[in-house]
Structure 1
């Protein structure tokens, strides 16, 4: 693949340019805000003062990660039109936010929440519940960060035709991400997210246009698929439909309670800013996952017969072919290169920042050193975050599964904290012991089913765990009954 447009020196130059651009933004952010007190709120939430524009793009760049571009087009290539569900579940994620985000935002301002566990601790006043929820969040965050690290390698290696090896790309961009995140915290992350979100939107749009011009549009790709792979055009059977809907529910709830997404709720300047940014987000599935889906379908005709492993680099192969057609598309694909890399980093940096906050504030300061200052908590979060990244780098050196499988796995356990938000915010009778038992039972059931590959009736194992979780939360709460005095106190604190 040495004849690809981004092979050789040009690919290395482009990678270095985008890497140092992110570092530049991080240093500028650090320099402008160096006089501010380094508190948890300032470092992890940007002072809780993100505007509509910045909040929208940090939501956007975080939700539409490298997996959306690098992983979803290959999934469409392999699954065909069944992967249209990816457009739907991004719409439903916004619905998931709206089920609890405005109410949670109001409480976060009232009680100065920094992490999701701050809310759980305030609402349920139980060390066991808070610790279990924090551990589930850590699992989901580590899983998600691993996914993004792998996406970095696939994306850059595919775009450069292997000139930049998978491992070299991973090490370089993870190092860049750690440096600017260390310097500026949420402000650096949010401002780089804005640049990265704009690059992603432009890059995906141009890739779609180039794909339609040089590989043929959706109609011709569909006709070609009907000839060589008619199963990719078929309507799912009853089991397929059940699996589809279970996936929609899993992602709608799971993605909405991402810890790094919840921290963006806390970081909003006002409730009006939060609602406006979410209303803008409702339109984004059509011009991101929708475009990527079409690109994957066109890829069936452009590069037929790819194996599962080879198809993971489909976007890079298509971008390189388009770039070699004329100078305009070459430079447009240069921007796409940055858009893909930026999309990956924009999610990874958000996850790493939240991962550090959970470790430092929810684990270290809450259970190990209760008298630790904000400055010490932040330092502990930074250092342990780096250690975890090194461990994940070792795992990602030879990735264990496709991006899609890694994407699904993290929801199975993370979703078990959903009752704490979906029930806890509105139902004062939710008992802390019932919640702990429900979360623990749901986690065990989902873990066993996920790792043994069991999905009865085609329903995701995480949803089976969540169903038992909800039933135990409701049933045991009715049986145990929250004392009237505690209900009255909760009425004052979380209403």
Structure 2
């Protein structure tokens, strides 16, 4: 995914300006890490402080760290081309993010309360407390770590391609990857969650500013959605038509897969535990409720306007739509020139902000849930944190090697991210409310659902056009519920679950 010049589109602002902005972003992020470390040196031996920011993130910081986690740079550069190709049917991209917020509201406030009472650090931590099953905890951790590694690899590839594009190829892909990953590892290592959250705030503001300027410039110089509608009516009327029956079914399956799957992303769930209070968490979610319209809605409109700005682009050409529009706007005035430079710098910074969150949670699951719980129960918290840092560093090196020259043969393996991650949702969400949920049925459902979804995906099958992760999830759910009803846990286990989940 190179949003700027894979097909030879020459950006008016690429080159020296792009290098200057990227170096400035990198140094600023590094500075945040150093300042955070200096301000909290004595506290970083604590798991709560390092992984959760001392459970003290306020409304604004928590909002922006949720925002940066949910909306990566791909939202800005990847969604407009899709809207360009699909037309108004791609309005579904807005409900994607609304569904995620709805899923959060189902379980986040209750999980936050339990997180405070039980001192939970990760979502795996909750599953272990709820079901007291080593096998279930391990399987959940493996599925989450796989999804996190998958997501991290995607971000590394996107960083390198974005840097290369913004600088007009002056900075090669591999150099861009290494430069930003080293900075990310350093500030994450130094400041933990506080560094990540503060850089998320900076990057979220930059991204929002750039997106708004892109919309304003598009409306000023390229026309309105009405102009684009006239072009679609004349040349591609199907882009104005509502989706058909199978299309609606695919919409629904994707909404469920993404809505539930993204809501249980481990790095997103971990932010629930980082909130200063339940009221802080709820106020952050209230602000997040507007962001599907302010972000996904805005870039959807940009994609539609792109039909009027650059009609007739093929698939490869449409992938460069945002770069083409930004380049044209940069030629209009100095204000838009620098706004577009900041936009693409913000896109890359947003990708980094997603990667740092993922890396921190990856380390926390390894150190707290696996090493601290199963390998060395007596390990001091400082030792757990160091183990997580070292394992995370090894994982980064391995993923950078893969990202150096991304092999096409890995594609089928790495498309399994949501298909596998959504299988932890029943244990994580239903376990909060249903005390009769059996650990054996939950484990069987999670394993069988993951295997079934993987098998369908690797075989290239998609029954009824539904996404395979959803098929696995439905099978998982049936086994969890049916198995728990047929072979319920003992009364002692049910009483323990009732006492544990009481809020």
TM-score (norm 1): 0.95
The 10-residue stretch of structure 1 (41-50 or 74-83) with the greater mean CA deviation from structure 2: 74-83
Contact 1:159-1:316 at 8 Å conserved across structures: no
Q: Cα RMSD (Å) of the superposition?
A: 2.0
Instruction: Kindly indicate whether residue 44 of structure 2 is the aligned counterpart of residue 44 of structure 1.
Output: no
1:410 to 404, 412, 417: 417
Contact 1:159-1:315 at 8 Å conserved across structures: no
Contact 1:140-1:411 at 8 Å conserved across structures: yes
Instruction: Kindly indicate whether residue 215 of structure 2 is the aligned counterpart of residue 208 of structure 1.
Output: yes
Write out the 4+ residue segments of structure 1 that deviate beyond 6 Å after TM superposition. 404-408
The within-5 A match list for 1:68-467 is 68-399=75-406, 409-467=416-474
Provide the aligned length of Structure 1 versus Structure 2: 493
Contact 1:73-1:296 at 8 Å conserved across structures: yes
Deviation at 1:306, TM superposition (A): 4.4
Q: Which residue of 1 aligns with 2:74?
A: 67
Q: 1:417 to 1:197 in 2, by over 3 A?
A: same
- Give, in whole Å, the separation in 2 of the partners of 1:66 and 1:334: 14
Deviation at 1:305, TM superposition (A): 4.7
Q: 1:159 to 1:297 in 2, by over 3 A?
A: farther
Q: 1:329 to 1:37 in 2, by over 3 A?
A: closer
Contact 2:121-2:273 at 8 Å conserved across structures: yes
- Give, in whole Å, the separation in 1 of the partners of 2:324 and 2:458: 33
TM-score (norm 2): 0.93
- Give, in whole Å, the separation in 2 of the partners of 1:19 and 1:224: 42
Q: Which residue of 1 aligns with 2:12?
A: 5
Deviation at 1:359, TM superposition (A): 1.4
- Give, in whole Å, the separation in 1 of the partners of 2:10 and 2:465: 44
Q: Output one character per residue of 1:422-476: Cα deviation in whole Å (capped at 9) or x when no partner.
A: 2211110000000000001100111011222222111111111111111111111
- Give, in whole Å, the separation in 2 of the partners of 1:75 and 1:390: 32
Contact 2:15-2:166 at 8 Å conserved across structures: no
- Give, in whole Å, the separation in 1 of the partners of 2:190 and 2:334: 37
Contact 1:88-1:248 at 8 Å conserved across structures: yes
Alignment gaps of 5+ in structure 1: none
Contact 2:73-2:350 at 8 Å conserved across structures: yes
The 10-residue stretch of structure 1 (406-415 or 23-32) with the greater mean CA deviation from structure 2: 406-415
- Give, in whole Å, the separation in 1 of the partners of 2:96 and 2:452: 24
Q: Output one character per residue of 1:223-269: Cα deviation in whole Å (capped at 9) or x when no partner.
A: 22344433333322211110011101111111111100110000001
Alignment gaps of 5+ in structure 2: 1-7
Contact 1:89-1:251 at 8 Å conserved across structures: yes
- Give, in whole Å, the separation in 1 of the partners of 2:324 and 2:397: 29
SS in 2 for 1:35: helix
Contact 1:123-1:490 at 8 Å conserved across structures: yes
- Give, in whole Å, the separation in 2 of the partners of 1:282 and 1:408: 28
Q: 1:81 to 1:405 in 2, by over 3 A?
A: farther
The 10-residue stretch of structure 1 (298-307 or 434-443) with the greater mean CA deviation from structure 2: 298-307
The 10-residue stretch of structure 1 (344-353 or 5-14) with the greater mean CA deviation from structure 2: 5-14
Q: 1:88 to 1:139 in 2, by over 3 A?
A: same
